[in-house]
Amino acid sequence: METVNIKINGISIDAPKGSTILEAARLAHIEIPTLCFLKDINEIGACRICVVEVKGARSLVASCVYPVAEGMEIRTDSPKVLSSRKQTLELILSDHDRKCLSCIRSVNCELQKLCVDLKVDNETAYEGERHDYEVDNSAAHMVRDNNKCILCRRCSAVCDHVQGIGVIGANDRGFSTNIACAFDMGLGETSCVSCGQCIVVCPVGALYEKDFTDEVFEALNDPDKYVIVQTAPAVRAALGEAFGLPIGTGVQGKMVAALRRLGFDKVFDTDFAADLTIMEEAAEFLDRVQNGGTLPLITSCSPGWIKYCEHYYPDMLDNLSTCKSPQQMFGAITKTYYADKMGLDPEKIVMVSVMPCTAKKFEIGRDDQNAAGVPDVDITITTRELARMIDRVGLNFLALPDEEFDNPLGQSTGAAVIFGATGGVMEAALRTAVETLTKEELPSPEFSEVRGTKGVKKATYNVAGMDINVAVASGLNNAKELLDEVKEGKANYHFIEIMGCPGGCVNGGGQPQQPSSVLNTTDVAGLRAKALYDLDASMPFRKSHDNPSIKKLYDDFLEAPGSHKAHEYLHTTYVKRSINPF
């Protein structure tokens, strides 16, 4: 690798030729602050927080886009640099809602931290005209508050470049510039898919999920309600970050203990329903392969992906698995099978789900999600909302003992827990489908070709003398790549897994937020996924069809995978949606 010799704050370093000053500074263990910069996503040098002084340059330069050159001498901490950054922050604050105490991002806000670091007072030196925007509550899953927006454009960049949707962007010009939808429509009026990736990258409190924790507490304090909680696999891989633990720390036991102490009547695991999903999806796949059904079969676990398909690829809805998501299957079984076994009135059961996903807030309101005549799931909250609930009641999360899920709906397999990582649903389905076809036990349950956080993964497996072509995509731009291949006849896949969020559910829109300094340098999704794969490897059962509780469910209630009764409770339908709201 060709390098150039430069000096940063008097320290000589060899930096890769073509790298930026921001990247080179990290080699000297110097972290230059940024606000707008997201590596490979939003490299526009707009916010001017990352400015540095380069000897010989006429003015300060944006380090995130300025390339290094041989002999360059750089100061990142000169009075001129620090003064410029402070002035920029004061200008941002001059048109910013500074109600920090009540802001959902207080103490976890990149703007707030910079102001503390650079000693910027809340009473800014600049006063003048300010905007007063109406808060957008039109979407089912989130709130947009432009009064806190700093115009970094990270949200619109991820919506456009990563997800390929682009429903938000810069409107108007000059001082009137604001981030909004076309024609100032509400977000809920657009073809937004509710993925929440804009929330993940927002550095401030301008974007946040709709909070339903008050509704959960109300249910918990209602003596007439039987409140059950289910937790998605990805939650246990990220919840610890909200309490200071390193990224990728598994906290399943403490999470269960916290939920029990919050007062839930039963603490169950969505992984049980993930195993159930595999039983249904594998049966559906084998039926389509053997009986000439529509191929490729495409997974249906990710509600952001489902809504994307309904908006942008409505001609491919027949390719979607008809299986409900694990969240919805769990609610359906709880309010039918479990309610009957326990003598509970389904109308008095409050089914709460804890999800890494903001699109789940949209999903619970979909049609055809009411197996017992009432909604399968009543309230869904994100990982972040659960963390706020734990803080609110004063639980010392790190001191809690490890506890187990309640049974029988808490028993699951390793195949289920890896649902939270991209490729996990595919691998789990293959474990069951291959053994069903071959009638032989796999020598090893791992399908490593579909693992990893790469946006698109492809593999071919010879099963019972037949080549099965599979593909995995995470992030909707990558989904588009695969779907276009299929539509244009360039690829012949039998089975496709698609997750709406890049990296899968571990990187969902409801997971704990990390600052750009972490997002730009750390494989967050990879670390969280590793926690799930480690848990998979440690479990006594690693294939969904080996789950004793799932076997009993079919024996007692559902009869067989793909049965008429299973379709009645566990499968759903889709609708064609317009992109143009007019």
Q: Are residues 202 and 219 in the same domain?
A: no
* Enclosing domain of residue 37: 3-77
Residues 196 and 48 in one domain: no
Q: What is the pLDDT of residue 580?
A: 63
Look at residue 451 and tell me whether its pLDDT is greater than 80: yes
What CATH number is given to the structural domain containing 490? 3.40.50.1780
Amino acid at 103: C
Give yes or no: residues 198 and 219 share one domain.
no
Q: Which two tokens stand for residue 506?
A: 């571990």
Clarify whether residues 388 and 298 are in a common domain: yes
**Can you give the pTM of this predicted structure?**
0.96
Question: Residue 286 domain-assigned?
Answer: yes
Same domain, 72 and 100: no
In a domain, 87, yes or no: no
Q: What is the domain count for the chain?
A: 3
Beta strands in 138-276 (DSSP E): 142-144, 169-171, 178-180, 207-209, 226-231, 266-269
Task: Among 19, 48, 77, identify where a domain stops.
Answer: 77
For the stretch 461-499, pLDDT in tens is 998 888 999 999 999 999 999 999 999 999 999 999 999
Q: Give the whole-angstrom CA distance, residue 446 versus residue 438.
A: 16
Domain assignment present for 575: no
The pLDDT assigned to 464 comes to 87
- CATH number assigned to the domain comprising residue 22: 3.10.20.740
pLDDT value of position 577: 94
DSSP string, 250-310: --HHHHHHHHHHHT-SEEEEHHHHHHHHHHHHHHHHHHHHHHT--SSEE----HHHHHHHH
102 by DSSP, 3-state: which? helix
Q: Backbone phi, then psi, for 451, in 5-degree steps? A: -90, 165
CATH of the domain at 126: 3.30.70.20
Task: Look at residue 456 in the predicted model and tell me its pLDDT.
Answer: 97
Same domain, 533 and 386: yes
- Say if residue 245's pLDDT is above 90: yes
Across the range 354-383, mean pLDDT stands at 97
Out of 209, 232, 250, a domain closes at 209
Q: Which of 209, 234, 262 is the last residue of a domain?
A: 209
Give 274's pLDDT tier (boundaries 50, 70, 90).
very high
Q: Collect all residues with Cβ–Cβ distance below 8 Å to 394 and sequence separation of at least 6.
A: none
Q: Which amino acid is at 263?
A: G
**Average pLDDT taken over every residue of the chain:** 96
Cβ atoms of 442 and 467 within 8 Å: the answer is no
Asked if 203 and 191 touch (Cβ cutoff 8 Å), the reply is: no
Instruction: Specify the DSSP element, H or E, that contains 425.
Output: helix 424-438
What confidence score (pLDDT) does residue 176 get?
95
Helix, strand, coil % in the chain, rounded to nearest 5 = 40, 15, 45
Residues 400 and 532 in one domain: yes
The answer on 180 and 228 residing in a single domain is no
The CA distance from 287 to 342, in Å, is 34
Whole-angstrom distance, CA of residue 47 vs CA of residue 508: 26
Query: Counting beta carbons within 10 angstroms of the beta carbon of residue 173, is it exposed (0 to 12), middle (13 to 18) or buried (19 or more)?
Result: exposed
Tell me, yes or no, whether 371 and 425 share the same domain: yes
Whether 38 is in a domain gets the answer: yes
Rounded to an integer, the average pLDDT of 354-377 is 97
Same domain, 67 and 115: no
pLDDT over 70 at 402, yes or no = yes
On whether the CB atoms of residues 302 and 579 are closer than 8 A, the answer is no
Residue 126, pLDDT score: 86
So what's the pLDDT on residue 401?
Answer: 98
pLDDT number for residue 362? 98
The beta-carbon contacts of 391-397 under 8 Å, at least 24 apart in sequence, are 392/213, 393/261, 393/262, 395/258, 395/261, 395/262, 397/240, 397/243, 397/251, 397/254, 397/258
User: What average pLDDT does the segment 10-30 reach?
Assistant: 95
Q: Using the structure block, give the residue that is written with the tokens 């939808």.
A: 181
Looking at the structure, do residues 244 and 204 belong to the same domain, yes or no? no
- The answer to whether residue 448 sits within a structural domain is yes
154 shares a domain with 28: no
State what percent of residues in the chain have pLDDT above 70: 99
| Helix, strand or coil, per DSSP, at residue 575 | coil
Q: Taking 60 as the threshold, does the pLDDT of residue 581 lie above it?
A: no
Does the bond joining 408 to the residue before it have cis omega, within 30 degrees of 0? yes
Question: Quick check: is 436 in a domain?
Answer: yes
Would 508 be classed as within a structural domain? yes
